[in-house]
Amino acid sequence: MDATKSAVTYQCPNCGAGLLFKPDKQKFCCEFCLSEFTEAELKQQEKTQAGEDAASAAAEDASRESGIPDEEFCAQMSEYHCDACGAEILSDESTAATECPYCHNPIILSGRLTGQMRPHKVIPFKFDKQAAMDKFFAFAKTKKFVPKDFADPARVEKICGIYYPFWVTDADTGASMQARATKVRSWRQGDYRYTETSNFQIARAGEIHFEDIVTPALKEEDQAMLSGILPYPSDSLQDFSMPYLSGFVAKKRNIEQESVRDSVKARMVQYSSTLLQRTIKGYTTVQPTAPRLLVHEMHWDYTLMPIWLLTYQRKGRTYTYAMNGYTGKVYGELPVSGGKLAALGGILGGVAAVVAFLIAFLL
C-alpha cells in the first residue's frame, strides 16, 4: 500500500488558489484574486470532498482488515502529499488540518475527520491573528508586574490558530436529595435564657436539564489550559463544515465519550447538589446527603473549538498562552519582573520605616 496520502485544499472557484477562512469577515477568501465566498457557495465542493473522504475511509478499513499492525498503519497515515506543490507532509496522528511548510498552502488531511471521526459541531474563529495579538498585548499591559518588554510583538515566538476537539454534552436527568436541618430559637424570660432546637427531615427532587457540558477530547494537551479558556457561548455552535478549517491547524480527538462519561456524570451530580441545596432556605443548619441522579437521556456532540496559542521566550524559558478564539479569554502564566517587585519592596520598606520612626517619635 502507498504510504503517501493526498491532502485536501479548498480551492478558489475563480483562480484555483487555496482558500482561507477569514474570521473578521466570516467568509472564505482567496489571497490571490481577492474573491470571497460564503459557506453556502462552497457546499458543492464540500459534497465532492465528502466522496473522496469516503473512499479514503474505505481504504483505511481495508488496510486494517489486511492484518497490518496498528503501529505500522499509524505510521503510514502520518505522511501526506500536497496537491499544490507536490511536497510530502509529515504530521502526527492527531493533526487534521495544517499548512504545507513549503508553499504554505492551507490543507486538510483527508480521512482524519470522516466517518465516526467527523465532528458534529464547530465554532469558527471570530477574530484573526492580528486581532488575537492585539487582545493579548492589551491583556498583558493591564498586569502590573510583567516585564516592560513583555508587550513587545517582536518577542512573540509564535501565534497559531488551532481547532481543538471537545465533547459537548446535553442531558435530561432526575435528581433527588435528602437533608437534615435544624431551626434554633432563643429567648429570655426573667432571669433565664431559653433555647429551642427543632429538627427537620427535608426531601428535594426535580427534573434538571443540562446544556453544553464541555470536556476536552485530546489526551496529550494541557487539560488545565483547555479548560481555562472555557466557556464558549452556546449560540456560537454551528453544524460542522470542513472549509472552516482551511488556514488553521485542527486536531482530532483521541478521547472517546465512554472514557469521560463518568466524569461528566460526576459534574452533573455536583451541579445537581448545588441547585437542590439552593432551594433549602430558612434553617439554622443544613446537612445534606449526596444527591441521587437518574440520567434519562444524554446527547454528545464531537465539537472543534477555536484557540489562539501563543508562545513567548524570556530568559531561556518558553511561556505558553491560550486564548479563546471566540471570546478572547486568556489563560497562561505571566512572567514577573524582578526589578518591579524589588522596587515595590523598596517602597513598602521605606513606608514601613517612616511609620516606625513616627511611632517611636510620638511615644
Q: Residue 69: pLDDT above 50?
A: no
**3-state class of 109 per DSSP?**
strand
DSSP structure string for 167-215 = EEEEEEEEEEEEEEEEEEEEEEETTEEEEEEEEEEEEEEEEEEEEEEEE
291 DSSP assignment: P
Same-domain pairing of 101 and 153: no
Same-domain pairing of 13 and 156: no
Decide which of 353 and 149 is more confident: 149
Decide which of 33 and 257 is more confident: 257
Q: Residue 120: pLDDT above 90?
A: yes
Instruction: Give the pLDDT band (50/70/90) at residue 349.
Output: low
DSSP structure string for 130-181 = HHHHHHHHHHHHT-TTS-GGGG-GGGEEEEEEEEEEEEEEEEEEEEEEEEEE
Highest mean pLDDT pick, 47-61, 142-156, 210-224: 210-224
Using one digit for the tens of pLDDT, what is the confidence trace for 79-110?
666 777 776 766 777 888 777 766 777 777 76
Domain boundary among 62, 95, 118: 118
The pLDDT score that the predictor gives to residue 338 is 46
> Which residues form the domain of 267?
129-332
CA 340 – CA 342 distance, rounded (Å): 5
Q: What are the angstrom distances between the C-alpha of 16 and each of 29, 90, 294?
A: 12, 24, 54
- 209 in any annotated domain: yes
Domain boundary among 118, 147, 180: 118
Instruction: Give the pLDDT band (50/70/90) at residue 237.
Output: very high
- 346 in any annotated domain: no
- 343 in any annotated domain: no
Same-domain pairing of 191 and 300: yes
Q: How many domains does the chain have?
A: 2
Highest mean pLDDT pick, 51-65, 66-80, 116-130, 217-231: 116-130
Same-domain pairing of 196 and 277: yes
The pLDDT score that the predictor gives to residue 133 is 87
Same-domain pairing of 61 and 85: yes
- 342 in any annotated domain: no
Q: Residue 273: pLDDT above 90?
A: yes
The pLDDT score that the predictor gives to residue 198 is 95
Instruction: Give the pLDDT band (50/70/90) at residue 72.
Output: very low
Same-domain pairing of 242 and 146: yes
The pLDDT score that the predictor gives to residue 150 is 66
